[in-house]
């Protein structure tokens, strides 16, 4: 019941513009010619301001000898200016004085090299920009102070009236209730190109799909031989602006010890690498998303697929529990990692965080339902986060659970027996994703999340159309014949998750389709594999999971049933043409 997808993209160096001697339009650039030759630097400081708050972006350029580490220093002109949350450096403030120490991944700066950092801040009264900076204690404003020409007119005897700072909204404007409403979604050109290379793929290629950030390298882009993309985060954001898109979706997916109950979707970070996750993964993503250039774009982050529910259902004491899940539960990697991602990304005014909340075939039982809601709440208030950083939740991500089961209701009985007693439902409280999502939303509000949260349902592969789709209830011989004959979901077992045979495209991305549901979305791009049918060597940390092997006879988590997986599948995230064609054939609603 754990699922996977990978983005591989081509690494690109970020183009960093050298600073010039200019103070205009909110840009402060300080040229340096320092007597001490070892450290010379340019620092540029830009900010996007609104009433009471601002986002600052700072570029440091090394003009001197190579640096192995750096500490940026500056002083706010006003005592009421404060750093609230920063990224790509370790930030601290004492009085007006601010310091930012380099992280392990950006401390080394060759001569001529640059790096960018930033922070969100608050102010009252006024928000003037700092005018002098230091690197490693050496002034970055040169050895010779600028000469100020004498005034051509006498100074006024009384100060001019002050103009209050303009009242402007935070980046992206005030948060909207539903970020999908009223704007068009970003179409990933890389997925679109692959879809259109398939016969008939142009029927669906203009649908918005999510961009998966499954490795640190995916932030800038990678060029693996198995690549299913070449663009980095900034590339996608720039393309979204060029498309005139109103929203873009990213999957934040790189927790330490990721997917502790599966192998096909294991990641690059070990269970004890939480500091690396923060500094080298979340911080750089936040820095890019905070760029004022993207302030008008609604950035939707899907936070860490298949993580927190594992801590409830797949640790020791549960059927099929794993030692790997025990480790990340004990060391807090998932809880603290998710909390940090929420806090860092949620601080941005145009960012909307939706946490992954599994699916009804995973946590629909009474024993899992409320404990999972509580686990999500624990993570939402960890690492300095609050529930205000959570805009909503997503269910069925990269999974196959049917959206609706019109012929099998949980309240149905057959010959006096509840359908919950059938082998398929197995005492679950839900039969489909819509009823589960709406009920789980109510439970999340009950345990302390904001009442305005919305739910997303991934419908990219849960259509279950084609000739096998039932047209009415099953035979009433017993609960099993009734359920098996009438259920839309045609999997062998609801715990099967890898490249499922017979699946089809589900509802196309749709805004506000049902009460409490912000959107039906295609977070898993159709055509991207869940995992390989047999072991395939790769450099992406992706193992071989027997649940992706069509000959596998199962385990405790799927009731020792066959896996139901398609044969000849590539590693997770790679393009799987046969699956794409099957998804189109079995689409429901059908494709025209």
Is 377 part of any known ligand binding site?
no
Is 522 part of any known ligand binding site?
no
Give the three-class secondary structure for 205. coil
**CB contact set of 29 (below 8 Å; sequence gap of 6+):** 19, 20, 21, 22, 23, 42, 43, 44, 45
Is 360 part of any known ligand binding site?
no
The DSSP annotation for 332-364 comes to -HHHHHHHHHHHHHHTSTTEEEEEE---HHHH-
Q: Which of 283, 306, 489, 545 is catalytic?
A: 306
CA pair distance 43, 522, nearest whole angstrom? 42
Is 424 part of any known ligand binding site?
no
CA angle 248, 249, 255 (to 5 degrees): 145
Residue 247 backbone dihedrals phi, psi, to 5 degrees: -140, 155
304 Rama class: left (phi>0) / alpha (psi -120 to 50) / beta: left
CA pair distance 363, 2, nearest whole angstrom? 12
Q: Which of 489, 530, 545, 549 is catalytic?
A: 530
Residues 464, 490: contact at Cβ < 8 Å?
Answer: yes
Nearest in space to 281 (alpha carbons), one of 204, 357, 340, 206: 340
Is 462 part of any known ligand binding site?
no
- Annotated active-site residue 223? The verdict is no
CA pair distance 57, 132, nearest whole angstrom? 15
- Annotated active-site residue 326? The verdict is no
Is 497 part of any known ligand binding site?
yes
**CB contact set of 581 (below 8 Å; sequence gap of 6+):** 198, 199
CA pair distance 1, 359, nearest whole angstrom? 9
Cα-Cα-Cα-Cα torsion 20, 22, 27, 29, nearest 10 degrees, comes to 50
Cα-Cα-Cα-Cα torsion 422, 424, 426, 428, nearest 10 degrees, comes to -110
- The label of the residue with tokens 């819509």 reads 434
Nearest in space to 120 (alpha carbons), one of 177, 52, 60, 179: 52
CA pair distance 539, 106, nearest whole angstrom? 24
Give the three-class secondary structure for 239. helix
Is 212 part of any known ligand binding site?
yes
What's the DSSP call for residue 421?
Answer: G
CA pair distance 269, 261, nearest whole angstrom? 15
Q: Which of 42, 235, 259, 432 is catalytic?
A: 259
Is 362 part of any known ligand binding site?
yes
- Annotated active-site residue 432? The verdict is no
Nearest in space to 444 (alpha carbons), one of 498, 378, 493, 347: 378
Cross-strand pairs, 413: 418
Annotated binding site: 212, 214, 359, 362, 399, 497, 524, 528
- Active site (catalytic) residues: 259, 306, 530
Binding site as annotated, residues for substrate: 212, 214, 359, 362, 399, 497, 524, 528
């Amino acid at each position: 019941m754990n699922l996977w997808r990978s983005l591989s993209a081509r690494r690109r160096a970020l183009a960093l513009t050298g600073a010039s001697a200019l103070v205009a339009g909110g840009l402060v650039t300080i040229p340096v010619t320092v007597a001490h030759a070892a450290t010379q630097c340019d620092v540029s400081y830009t900010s996007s301001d609104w009433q009471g708050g601002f986002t600052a972006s700072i570029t440091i350029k090394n003009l001197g000898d190579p640096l192995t580490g750096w500490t940026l220093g500056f002083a706010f002109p006003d005592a009421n200016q404060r750093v609230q949350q920063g990224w790509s450096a370790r930030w601290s403030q004492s009085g007006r004085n601010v310091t930012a120490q380099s992280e392990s991944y950006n401390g080394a700066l060759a001569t001529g090299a640059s790096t960018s950092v930033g922070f969100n801040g608050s102010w009252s009264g006024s928000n003037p920009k700092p005018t002098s900076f230091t690197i490693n204690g050496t002034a970055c404003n040169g050895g010779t102070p600028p000469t100020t020409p004498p005034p051509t007119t006498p100074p006024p005897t009384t100060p001019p009236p002050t103009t209050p700072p303009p009242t402007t909204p935070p980046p992206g404007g005030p948060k909207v209730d539903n970020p999908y409403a009223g704007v068009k979604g970003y179409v990933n050109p890389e997925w679109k190109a692959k879809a259109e290379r398939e016969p008939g793929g142009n029927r669906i290629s203009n649908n918005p799909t999510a961009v998966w950030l499954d490795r640190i390298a995916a932030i800038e882009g990678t060029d693996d031989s198995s690549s299913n993309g070449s663009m980095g985060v900034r590339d996608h954001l720039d393309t979204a602006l060029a498309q005139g898109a109103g929203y873009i979706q990213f999957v934040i997916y790189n927790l330490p010890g990721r997917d502790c109950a599966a192998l096909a979707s294991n990641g690059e970070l070990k269970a004890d690498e939480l500091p690396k996750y923060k500094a080298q993964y979340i911080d750089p993503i936040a820095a890019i998303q905070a760029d004022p250039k993207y302030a008008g774009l609604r950035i939707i982050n899907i936070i860490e697929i298949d993580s927190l529910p594992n801590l409830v259902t797949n640790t020791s004491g549960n059927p099929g529990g794993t030692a790997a899940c025990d480790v990340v539960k004990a060391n807090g990697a998932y809880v603290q990692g998710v909390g940090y991602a929420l806090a860092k990304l949620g601080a941005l005014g145009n960012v909307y965080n939706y946490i992954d909340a599994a699916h009804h075939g995973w946590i629909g039982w009474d024993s899992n339902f409320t404990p999972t809601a509580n686990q999500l709440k624990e993570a939402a208030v960890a690492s300095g986060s609050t529930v205000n950083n959570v805009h909503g939740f997503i269910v069925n991500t990269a999974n196959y659970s049917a959206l609706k089961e019109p012929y099998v209701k949980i309240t149905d009985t057959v010959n006096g027996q509840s359908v919950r007693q059938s082998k398929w439902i197995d005492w679950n409280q839900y039969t489909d994703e819509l009823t589960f999502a709406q009920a789980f939303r109510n439970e999340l509000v009950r345990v302390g999340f904001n009442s305005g949260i919305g739910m997303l349902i991934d419908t990219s592969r849960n259509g279950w159309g084609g000739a096998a789709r039932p047209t009415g209830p099953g035979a009433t011989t017993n609960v099993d014949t009734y359920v098996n004959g009438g259920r839309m979901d045609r999997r062998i077992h609801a715990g099967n998750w890898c490249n499922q045979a017979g699946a089809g495209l589900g509802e196309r991305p749709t805004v506000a389709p049902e009460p409490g549901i912000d959107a039906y979305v295609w977070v898993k791009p159709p055509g991207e594999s869940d995992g390989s049918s047999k072991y395939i060597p790769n450099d992406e940390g992706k193992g071989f999971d027997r649940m992706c092997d069509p000959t596998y006879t199962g385990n405790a988590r799927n009731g020792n049933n066959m896996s139901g997986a398609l044969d000849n599948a590539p590693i997770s995230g790679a393009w799987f043409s046969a699956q794409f064609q099957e998804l189109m054939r079995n689409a429901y609603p059908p494709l025209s």
